[in-house]
Amino acid sequence: MREYTLHQGTAPLLLSLPHDGTALPEDVASRMTEAGRRVTDTDWHVGRLYAFARELGASVIVPRWSRYLVDLNRDPQGHALYPGRAETALVPVVTFAGESIYAATEQPDEGEIARRKEAYWQPYHAALAGELARMRARHPRVVLWDGHSIRSRVPMFFEGRLPDFNLGTASGGSCTPALQAALTEVLSTHAPGGGDRYSHVVNGRFKGGYITRHYGRPATGVEAVQLELAQYTYIDEDSFEYRPERAAGVQRVIRDLLDACLSYLPA
């Protein structure tokens, strides 16, 4: 079985959902604590949330495996995304709640981390880079959209409640000012006082992870954007149950954002 699924679309838009996977190899799961086996920090149901994107002609890449096996949105050399601030590693050993993922003495050593990078991290990124290259051969510019979600309250990372929509462009480095402005305008039309009433921030706590920062190179025709959603907007955060009545509003905003990407791109 492949480490990921890749749907190749026709539009100059690629969706990456690197934390949608929940699977764990049996030999790894057997060494984990109950907290680890729950894979609580999954970006729950983002694949379902973005399912409509294929109708727009988007390519979509989704991993099979949980981020607890290896985090596809972390630097392969282990460099920090936010130096001086709390974050989890390329191969996490604690959950966002500070719980141990592995039983005592069972944490992966450097050799195992290297093997996981080769077996799970590298195939996803090779496919991601390959799909971007395929798309660039057909389109003068493309947008890589990195879709994420997280519990609305995670004291390890931020105080209080996270805004509903958190747009990251590596502080403006991973896309052009014009695309960032177009997306910000969309979020403003859905802000409190508007139709769907969602709060938002641009380049706040989440400015984009490794994928956004590494692949977003506007000068080469590849622009990258990360969207981090507060999970309560579309699921029950205690049971992780998908709530269609909540998700419908979120999907309207996401569709508007993706439409803005496609409208921005040259024909």
Q: Quick one: pLDDT at residue 198? A: 95
Angle ∠(146,232,52) on CA atoms, nearest 5:
45
Q: Quick one: pLDDT at residue 43? A: 98
Give the integer Cα–Cα distance in Å for 231 and 96.
14
Give CATH superfamily name and number for 4-264: Zn-dependent exopeptidases (3.40.630.40)
Domain boundaries, the chain: 4-264
> Which of 4, 120, 125 lies closest to 64 in space, CA to CA?
4
User: Which pTM was predicted?
Assistant: 0.95
Beta bridge partners of 32: 102
> What SS3 class is residue 103?
coil
Q: Quick one: pLDDT at residue 79? A: 79
Give the integer Cα–Cα distance in Å for 24 and 180.
36
Q: How confident is the prediction along the chain (267 residues), in pLDDT tens digits per residue?
A: 689 999 999 999 999 999 999 999 999 999 999 999 999 999 999 999 999 999 999 999 999 999 999 999 999 987 777 776 767 889 999 999 999 999 989 999 999 999 999 999 999 999 999 999 999 999 999 999 999 999 999 988 888 999 999 999 999 999 999 999 999 999 999 877 555 689 999 999 899 999 999 999 999 999 999 999 999 999 999 999 999 999 999 999 999 999 999 999 986
Instruction: Please say whether the beta carbons of 213 and 203 come within 8 A.
Output: no
